[in-house]
Chain A
């Protein structure tokens, strides 16, 4: 039988504390994943010791107030333009740590040109891409990332791929580009996954600090209100359904030799040439 011993002194032992970069409250709904991702960011930036020289480039959507919840200098972007704004910030201040925080409506729909070209140029900032498959702030409309058959307020009978198209796997697409040094998709579906998401976010910032190029972490998240579910049901759906459609993992970590198995432009692989 194990007897737990009380601490030798009467002083408490800190086993949990709020990161100093995090403020007290957020406006996020119960069960929303943004709060988890904010916390991971705050922990990572503190562990890297760069919070005082990090610039947040915000976006438009539920996370528009991220600058009120993370104690960082911040600039707000027009909807979808965060990657261009971050380009301007980082090019002028390459000595600073710069990241965008964008949702899937912002990044995968209206902001596709900006994110693709920032990635293609290999801009030396990091993008945190929170994907909950829906436009949460405006009332739960269909996003490019919405799953086939998923009901939203603008796909009331479910996303019909014959007229509404297929989900856009942005992170896989970006991982093809040589300028993308690190790309991963993670999830907040359970505590273990949250821990892995933190590792990926940390690695993305390390790649930026090494000055290698663009890094992106997509984090699959929940929107209980937009999905019409309780927080528990939403977490279940995230693990069972969403993660089945969007596989998690590290797609690219070029500094560590992890490169996509997809054909590179201008350098056809053997298998392709053999096919002819």
Chain B
């Protein structure tokens, strides 16, 4: 293993903020290269560095476990890049600093974890109403209340159904690996600027805290110079960025504009990934860390003769409804795996509208489902519907022929 020094050059190597251990094993030559093909990064740090590569101009945060390394990474790296970093007095402060910087035309990142996201809900509504782009990272922990610092997915409703008050939506992207999180940071900024909306990147404590090998060259984005930003009214009429529209007809027109934007997002931006769906009898639906468990469960189920597949939403809003309907066409049951009491399952049921039985395997409070318990749940799901050949009996464990 080699310590990666910070090399010069246009490409931004991961780990530029501090030395990192290179993942290449000794003797493979990787340790001799100044820019190795893979480096180990914590999810929180990778998200932060990805945002810097994507041209993030300003970061505002507040310490909370399990996202604190994101704040710490930015505290070191943003000043190095000559960009804005402020540790705010609260999550309220952080998100409102983001609101101001965004109004001035900055590409802004804010991060927190569940209880802090609740505090940010107010300004999320204002930013949605004021059409201000911003990327907000939620590294989810257990709840409700102070809950725990363990990984959980109990904020799905909050993320997808609105955090604050009023009629608005926020695109939500949900990585299930650190490499994917790096990609989705760029996607989130693109969506935010294309549609002038806040965007949430929803991950959990495991994705934030775990280390995985990632490619050290992060995607970059072209700088933006929005024509709506406030910068002083020299030589033109003043403009104000506002969410206040006191007259009913004005506010309704504003709301119709917002809804039209959400309809465009819903039509164009649904993202998902499928694995082994072609012949799947039981389709597992999961996102984030739960999808990592579900993937292992699919492999084990197939080893045991149960043809399972994985449908993994990447955008949670807009929910990839068309993709899911297609994915379950040949399935006899759907099993939703969540690290919550069952929140995404409501969108799955709404999407499938009774066309196929939808079951839930839920763990909460920082407990992570095991692949084996997911396989067992998949077998029960298979058995819910009776086939003519084997009513009520799931395919037997490994070795047995169906």
Q: Mark B69-108, 1 if CB is under 8 A from A, else 0.
A: 0000000000000001010111011101111111111101
The contact of B89 among A56, A91, A113, by CB within 8 Å, is A113
| Identity of the chain B residue whose Cβ is nearest the Cβ of A85 in the assembled complex | B100
Task: Specify the chain A residue showing the minimal Cβ separation from B241.
Answer: A75
Specify the main secondary structure of chain B where it touches its partner. Answer: mixed
Within 8 Å by CB of B97, from A76, A88, A96, lies A88
CB distance from A273 to the nearest CB of B (A): 31
Task: Decide if A114 touches B238 in the complex (CB within 8 Å).
Answer: no
The answer to whether B224 has its CB under 8 Å from any CB of chain A is no
A64 contacts across to B, CB distance below 8 A: 244
Q: Which of the residues A53, A73, A81 comes within 8 Å of B123, measured between beta carbons?
A: A81
Contact A55 B231 (CB under 8 A): yes
The interface residues of chain B lying within 8 Å CB-to-CB of A71 are 233, 238
CA distance A84 to B122 in the complex (A): 14
Complex Cα distance, B60 from A90, in Å, reads: 13
**Chain B residues within an 8 Å CB radius of A97:** 232
Known: A67-B242, A78-B122, A92-B84. Contact between A84 and B97, CB under 8 A?
A: yes
Residue count of chain B within 8 Å CB distance of chain A: 40
Q: Could you tell me if A55 and B96 are in contact, using CB atoms closer than 8 angstroms?
A: no
Complex interface bits, A43-80 against B, C-beta within 8 A gives 1, otherwise 0: 00000000111111110000010011001111111100
Chain B residues whose CB sits within 8 angstroms of the CB of A90 once the complex forms: 100
CB within 8 A of B240: which of A76, A81, A92, A114? A76
Which residues of A sit under 8 angstroms from B238, Cβ to Cβ? 67, 71-74
User: Any chain A CB within 8 A of the CB of B239?
Assistant: yes
B57 an interface residue at 8 Å Cβ cutoff?
yes
Residues of B near A96 (CB, < 8 A) are 104, 231-232
B55-71 interface mask toward A, CB cutoff 8 Å, 1 = contact, 0 = none?
Answer: 00110100000000000
Closest Cβ–Cβ distance, residue B321 to chain A (whole Å)? 33
Given A88-B60, A89-B103, A76 contacting B241 (CB threshold 8 A): yes
Closest Cβ of chain A: how far from B400's Cβ, in Å?
Answer: 62
A121–B86 Cα distance when bound, in Å, is 10
Interface presence of B326 (CB below 8 A): no
The chain B residue sitting closest to A82, CB to CB, is: B96
Chain B 100-135 per-residue mask, 1 if CB under 8 angstroms from chain A, else 0: 111111101000000000000011001000100000
Cβ contact within 8 Å between A84 and B93 = yes
Interface string of A211-222 (1 = CB under 8 A from B): 000000000000
Residue of A nearest to B239 (CB): A73
**Do B231 and A77 touch (CB < 8 A)?**
no
A177 in the interface (beta carbon within 8 A): no
B90 / chain A contacts, CB cutoff of 8 Å: 113
Contact B92 A113 (CB under 8 A): yes
Q: In whole angstroms, what is the CA distance A52 to B103 when docked?
A: 17
Decide: A85 and B99 in contact? CB cutoff 8 A: yes
A87 at the interface (CB under 8 A from B): yes
Please report the C-alpha to C-alpha distance between residue A89 and residue B126 in the assembled complex, in whole angstroms.
16
Q: Is the beta-carbon distance between A78 and B89 smaller than 8 angstroms?
A: no
Residues of B within 8 A of A87 (CB): 86, 93, 97, 100
Residues in chain A within 8 A of chain B (CB atoms): 51-58, 64, 67-68, 71-78, 81, 84-93, 96-97, 113-114, 116-117, 121
In the A-B complex, list the 6 residue pairs whose CB atoms are closest, starting with the nearest: A88-B100, A52-B234, A84-B96, A88-B97, A53-B232, A88-B101
Residues of B within 8 A of A (CB): 57-58, 60, 84, 86, 88-90, 92-94, 96-106, 108, 122-123, 126, 130, 230-235, 238-244
18 interchain pairs (CB within 8 A)? A55-B230, A58-B240, A67-B242, A73-B233, A73-B239, A74-B242, A75-B104, A76-B242, A76-B243, A77-B100, A84-B97, A88-B58, A91-B58, A91-B97, A92-B58, A92-B84, A93-B231, A96-B232
